[in-house]
Amino acid sequence: MLEKVIASQQPKAKTLFAALIMLGSINCIAQPTDRQFDDPNHVKPTENYMIGLKAGANFSNVYSESGEGFKADTKIGLAAGGYISLPIVKYINIQPELLFSQKGFKGTGRLLGSTYELRRTTSYLDIPIFLAFTPIKSITFLVGPQYSYLLSQRDVFTNGTTSIAQEKEFSNDNIRRNTLCFVGGVDLNLKHIVLSGRGGWDVRANNGDGTSTTPKYKNMWLQTTIGYRF
């Protein structure tokens, strides 16, 4: 009698044993291994996109200069804003940014027969759209176009012989507010801290219709920032 009971339970035991094996296999597949998370190239689900804030400085100057006796030196300005990084494929993201960015120069030249010294500060709203390549978790390379809109321009004459006519000539100057730029850079990713370096240059000159008598030029700059990504 006992042998019959044991024999009748064997198919059920085999079925239960097979089911346990299948559940164990599914669990192993569903759970990522520690090795996956240790892999620096492995992207976790929570890292599919990132938002960040950053602030730093621009070291700006000009190139493609034209103007009577015009020479320019580097000027330091503020750079601050935020960004979002959106994945496309493995290792590659699209990263648009929105920045308040001060540029300009310290220069000398001649206008209406006399020499002037000028410190120009231009405040822009910069909107770069980067293609970001991250070959390893700690380094990101970025390149792309940038649209810049001139918010304000402040000119300060520092010599004592500036005439009202010179100041009027500068204030009536036809300046370009919309500028297209090209930018490249690199980010060092230290967990939530991001150290960034950028270099950029305008592809269009500052004068609007070409009739300006004050210096014509294109902006170029280096930018360093420190940021925090969420």
pLDDT of residue 8: 52
pLDDT of residue 44: 47
pLDDT of residue 212: 60
Give the start-to-end residue ranges of the domains of the chain.
Answer: 2-31, 43-229
Residues 6+ away with beta carbon under 8 Å from 98 = 81, 82, 83, 125, 126, 127
DSSP assignment letter at 29: H
Give the CATH fold of the 43-229 domain: Porin (2.40.160)
| Burial environment of residue 217 by CB neighbours within 10 A (0 to 12, 13 to 18, 19 or more) | buried
Alpha-carbon Rg for the chain, nearest whole angstrom, is 30
pLDDT of residue 37: 42
| Burial environment of residue 195 by CB neighbours within 10 A (0 to 12, 13 to 18, 19 or more) | middle
Closest to 201 measured CA to CA, from 141, 148, 139: 148
Intervals of the chain under pLDDT 70: 1-47, 67-68, 158-173, 209-213
pLDDT of residue 6: 43
pTM value is 0.74
Measure the CA–CA gap between 229 and 216, rounded to whole angstroms: 39
